[in-house]
Copies of this chain bind each other. A is one copy, B any other.
Amino acid sequence: MAFTDTAPTGPIDDSDAMGGVARDHLKSFVARIERLEEDKANVMADIKEVYAEVKSMGFDPKVMRKVISLRKIDRNERQEMEALLELYLGAVES
């Protein structure tokens, strides 16, 4: 088994089982990951809730998502992309 050489496995009572120390490590890792995944789920629920508010205030949530995503891009690059986009679209639909 992959981890027996490298992990501190502690006393092994059963040839097929994992040592006590390794087991404790594993349990602790699982607990930490599950707690973090819960945090992530909560944050994602909060984000969803804000978008619901956005909508209930009469704003367009889809456009709002675009605003958020565009703001991650540098303003100059954004304007250049916008110009190219119009040029391409104009050419394709001509």
- The residues of A with any CB-CB pair to B shorter than 8 Å are 1-7, 16-18, 22-23, 25-27, 29-30, 32-34, 36-37, 39-40, 43-44, 46-47, 50-51, 53-54, 57-60, 62-64, 66-68, 70-71, 81, 83-85, 87-92, 94
* Copies of this chain present: 4
Please state if A63 and B50 are interface contacts (CB–CB under 8 Å).
no
A70 to B33, CA, bound (A): 13
Closest to A22 in B: B91
A-B contact pairs, 22 of them (CB 8 A): A1-B87, A2-B59, A3-B59, A4-B58, A6-B57, A18-B91, A22-B91, A23-B91, A26-B88, A27-B91, A29-B53, A29-B57, A30-B64, A30-B68, A30-B92, A33-B64, A34-B68, A34-B71, A40-B47, A43-B43, A63-B85, A66-B81
Closest to A30 in B: B92
Please state if A94 and B2 are interface contacts (CB–CB under 8 Å).
no
